Structure 1
Amino acid sequence: MEVPMAVQFGGLVSGLNTNQMISQLVAIERQPINKLNTTKRTVESDIRRVGEMSTRLKALESAAKELGTLEGFMSFKGSSTNEEAVRVSADSGATESSFDVGVSRLAKPARMRSDAFAEGHTFSATTMNVEVFGEDDVELNIPDGASLTEVRDMIRASSAEVDATIINTPDGAHLSITSKKTGHTPGGDPASALTVSGLNMTSVQTAQNALMTVDGVSVESSSNTVSTAVEGVTFELLGEAEGVRAGVAPDREAILEKVKTFVEAYNSTVDAIRSQSNGGNRRRFEADLSEAVTQTAIDGPFVNLRSVGISSGATGKLELDETEFFDRLEENSAALAEVFSSQGGVAAKLTAQVQRYTGGSGILSGIEDSLKSQSDTIDSQIERKERSIETFESRLRRQFSTLEQLLSSLNDQSASFASLVPPSYQSNR
């Protein structure tokens, strides 16, 4: 059963709307709390802005670190005059270069095949061993009555580095097993590339290594993907050919995308800084970042961002001139990379500046702690004032109640006094 809420009636004797009067007086007392709540909302907004600024600064630091080493800044792409025979790719460890390439032989995997089995053939219980490259010997226990299909599936489900399939011929079904690895250990016995015991298997394809030349130097590889011939360069061999010209050059578009990411992260951080309510912090932060990206970075053909097509515009944000950037990249890619990646380069200076802000004892951490302390203090003030107002309201209600009781008593006394006066006296009056 619900307990009905207490209903208070004021001014039944005095005729005053005491509830309204109390509400108005309490509202006046609450004004400081309203101001505190407004201040708290401002502080909480500042905390969110500081958090957003910290997030964007960390994104800027990440973008700067990406460009902070020569390997991180540079991206390369490969080219080939005969991509049907040789494809070329390059990673950040490569250098701009070109090579004469020839391919005289492709790598092939070892393959073994069983004798023909009649339809419906089943095996007696036996043990089968599969070994690739002379290691990883896998033992398979074939149960009595297993079919050729079941044996194939057992091989496929095992950890053996082989493919298994059934080849149907007029004389019966053959189990064919092929190594997943091409070639064999360089200088080793090709026969060790694949050994299978237990099912009377015969070699039908000997493992074969790839042979290629790079600028006349012979290279042997067990794989058709050759990444050990030239540092940072991978050759994918697809066919036999001679006189292929392979090249490695800076990947202009990939480098540009990294720089664009950096510029966007910087400009986004500037927006976050400008959203801060503290004008002094706002100007200081923006000046610190601007100094890190506009001052001279190094000695050389290019000394700062402006010299490679990245300028600080009228808005204080970075602006990228792609045409000039590509011209400088074509002119001297290594020198351009140094503007970002050298010890005194833009990436290092900006990273150090950002870490001053975002580190565990950094500037933003101190600002955020101070704002949170302000918020906690405001909460305590609001809590104390709320208790004070509750006491104030209770006191008012007691005082008005006492007033009503007093008026009621006076009315009762007046009525009693009036009853003692003779009617004739009252009428003569």
Structure 2
Amino acid sequence: MGTVGINFGAATSGQGFDVASTVTAILASQQAIETPWQNQLTSLQAQDTVLSTLGSDLSSLTTSLQSLTDFSGVMSQMQGSSSNNNVLELTSASSSAIAGSHTIVVNSLAQTSSEYSDAIANASDTLSGSLTINGNTITVGSSSNTLSTLASAINQASIGVTANVITDASGSRLSLVSTSSGAAGQISLSSSLTDSTTSSAVNFYTGQAGQDASLSVDGVAVTSASNTVTNAIPGVTVQLLSASASSPVQVEITNDDSAVTTAMQSFVTAYNAVVTTINGQEKNDSSGNAEPLFGSPTLATLQNQLTSALLGGAASGSISSINQLGVEFNQDGTLTLNTDTLNSVLTSNYSDVVGFLQNSKSFGQTFSTTLNNLGTASNTSLIYLAQQQNSSEEATLNQNISNEQALLATEQTNLTTELNTANQVMQSIPSQLNEVNEMYSAVTGYNTGNGG
């Protein structure tokens, strides 16, 4: 510990000294012991920031790869098209669909059964009688004796129809529409309903008969209760829009190459983010200081294992390298996707691409394992372990700093007390000297103030 020179001034001046600044000066040299700890702590915290970024980058890379390696991911997605969207549209193709071409002829559309009543000039007229709908009798009572209240009673009964009151220039009608489309939803109706206000019978008429859609798929007759047909082509849903028995529609089911290309580009982008972060640590900053992880074994391990993983994985048929999927290597370690190359191999060898990404010990599976070992996915992963090591060192440094500051605080209190006492003594010296002079003068008769 160095020495601290303190100038108290002339002892007889009575001015004393600044206790606070004196204590600060004395403790300054002792506080210097914390400087290396603080510097090391700052360095570790800077590393933490980069490690957190790498962990996030690796997590994004893992997610982007999963869309390609998962059996239900983009590689299993299908897409389809219709040669005549005025007759039918393809609304979805699930992973269970099989690529191929189909011919569909729509003979007739499905219809939903409906019934409607005579027009009643005054919707508030009182009704009487009953309706039997699908075997269920609705008897008109005091709470259901108008068109609107009767419609409400029918809806509350839940008997397979929806009731509404339709009003136009000729009056109001009770409308009944089946809740099930197709022939199975045909409404069975009998009525003894009467307009009590006019004493007129209220008759019902068929608006539309329940009917199943009729179509043929590759020459096989198919019926559907709905115009949304899910049983024509496995895994495919089509929407029938119009009947056109004389105009066959071609439906093509294909692999969703565009979704695969998008997913592969996302993988390349996520990989490049990791490499960019790594490259950013292999240099000095604008002030000439090394970046936080410059020369770090963790960084070197991460870089080497990522590179090895890109070149690894078992072959699948004609595909033995990620380069064959259009992934090209740049000099700085980043990747570029050649979409023309990828689209070509998807067209010619789709199943081999799937195998290269999803088979056991394939590129996709081994790369996924590598990422799990590098990121923060488990307590044995590379970045996780580096973060834990830093956390442990930071805890020790913070404890050392805390202990030292506690010691300094105690010493500051003691020094302040001691120096306050000394300061009081120095400030009292002139008055003590004056008392001595007065005593001397009283004893000797010598006037010290006149010098004689």
**TM-score over 0.5 (shorter chain):** yes
Matched, 1:267 2:272: yes
**2:71·2:358 contact (CA, 8 Å) conserved in 1?**
yes
Normalised by the length of structure 1, the TM-score is: 0.81
Residue of structure 2 aligned with 1:368, choices 372, 379, 387: 387
| Residue pairs, 1:67-216, within 5 angstroms | 67-69=68-70, 71-74=72-75, 75-88=77-90, 89-119=92-122, 120-123=124-127, 144=143, 146-152=145-151, 162-168=161-167, 173-184=172-183, 190=184, 193-195=186-188, 203-216=206-219
Distance verdict in 2 for CA 1:56–1:195, change over 3 Å:
farther
Structure 2 unaligned blocks of 5 or more: 1-7, 194-203, 282-291
Aligned amino acid, residue 343 of structure 1: S
Aligned amino acid, residue 326 of structure 2: G
Report the CA distance between 1:322 and its aligned residue.
1.3
Report the CA distance between 1:194 and its aligned residue.
3.7
Residue of structure 1 aligned with 2:412, choices 379, 393, 397: 393
3-state DSSP of counterpart to 1:257: helix
Structure 1 unaligned blocks of 5 or more: 1-9, 185-189
Report the CA distance between 1:381 and its aligned residue.
2.1
Paired position in structure 1 for 2:345: 328
CA distance in 2, matches of 1:153, 1:52: 61
Matched, 1:316 2:333: yes
Paired position in structure 2 for 1:6: none
Report the CA distance between 1:290 and its aligned residue.
2.4
Question: Which stretch has the larger CA shift, 163-172 or 210-219?
Answer: 163-172
Paired position in structure 1 for 2:57: 56
Paired position in structure 2 for 1:345: 362
3-state DSSP of counterpart to 1:343: coil
Q: Percent identity?
A: 22
Deviations 1:122-166 (A, max 9, x none): 34597x7866xx9xx999997525431344456568867654333
Paired position in structure 2 for 1:384: 403
Residue of structure 2 aligned with 1:244, choices 249, 252, 257: 249
**2:111·2:212 contact (CA, 8 Å) conserved in 1?**
yes
Aligned amino acid, residue 181 of structure 2: T
Distance verdict in 2 for CA 1:396–1:351, change over 3 Å:
same
Distance verdict in 2 for CA 1:122–1:17, change over 3 Å:
same
3-state DSSP of counterpart to 2:69: coil
Paired position in structure 1 for 2:287: none
Report the CA distance between 1:174 and its aligned residue.
2.3
CA distance in 2, matches of 1:212, 1:116: 37
CA distance in 2, matches of 1:402, 1:198: 113
CA distance in 1, matches of 2:258, 2:49: 36
Distance verdict in 2 for CA 1:344–1:365, change over 3 Å:
same
**1:112·1:178 contact (CA, 8 Å) conserved in 2?**
yes
Normalised by the length of structure 2, the TM-score is: 0.77
Deviations 1:342-383 (A, max 9, x none): 223333222222222333423233333333333333332222
Distance verdict in 2 for CA 1:145–1:32, change over 3 Å:
same
Paired position in structure 2 for 1:27: 28
CA distance in 2, matches of 1:95, 1:157: 44
Report the CA distance between 1:286 and its aligned residue.
2.3
Report the CA distance between 1:118 and its aligned residue.
4.5
Report the CA distance between 1:102 and its aligned residue.
0.9
**1:274·1:282 contact (CA, 8 Å) conserved in 2?**
no
Report the CA distance between 1:321 and its aligned residue.
0.9
Report the CA distance between 1:96 and its aligned residue.
2.2
**1:110·1:183 contact (CA, 8 Å) conserved in 2?**
yes
Report the CA distance between 1:170 and its aligned residue.
8.0
CA distance in 2, matches of 1:195, 1:55: 63
**2:128·2:140 contact (CA, 8 Å) conserved in 1?**
no
3-state DSSP of counterpart to 1:164: strand
Distance verdict in 2 for CA 1:213–1:409, change over 3 Å:
same
**2:166·2:172 contact (CA, 8 Å) conserved in 1?**
yes
CA distance in 1, matches of 2:398, 2:138: 71
Aligned amino acid, residue 182 of structure 2: G
Paired position in structure 2 for 1:359: 377
* Number of residue pairs the alignment of both structures matches: 409
Deviations 1:199-250 (A, max 9, x none): 7665442211111111111111111122222222222211122322211123
CA distance in 2, matches of 1:168, 1:314: 75
Distance verdict in 2 for CA 1:15–1:129, change over 3 Å:
farther
Residue of structure 1 aligned with 2:231, choices 228, 231, 234: 228
**2:216·2:222 contact (CA, 8 Å) conserved in 1?**
yes
CA distance in 2, matches of 1:380, 1:125: 90
Distance verdict in 2 for CA 1:178–1:32, change over 3 Å:
farther
**2:113·2:186 contact (CA, 8 Å) conserved in 1?**
yes
**2:99·2:255 contact (CA, 8 Å) conserved in 1?**
yes
**2:110·2:211 contact (CA, 8 Å) conserved in 1?**
yes
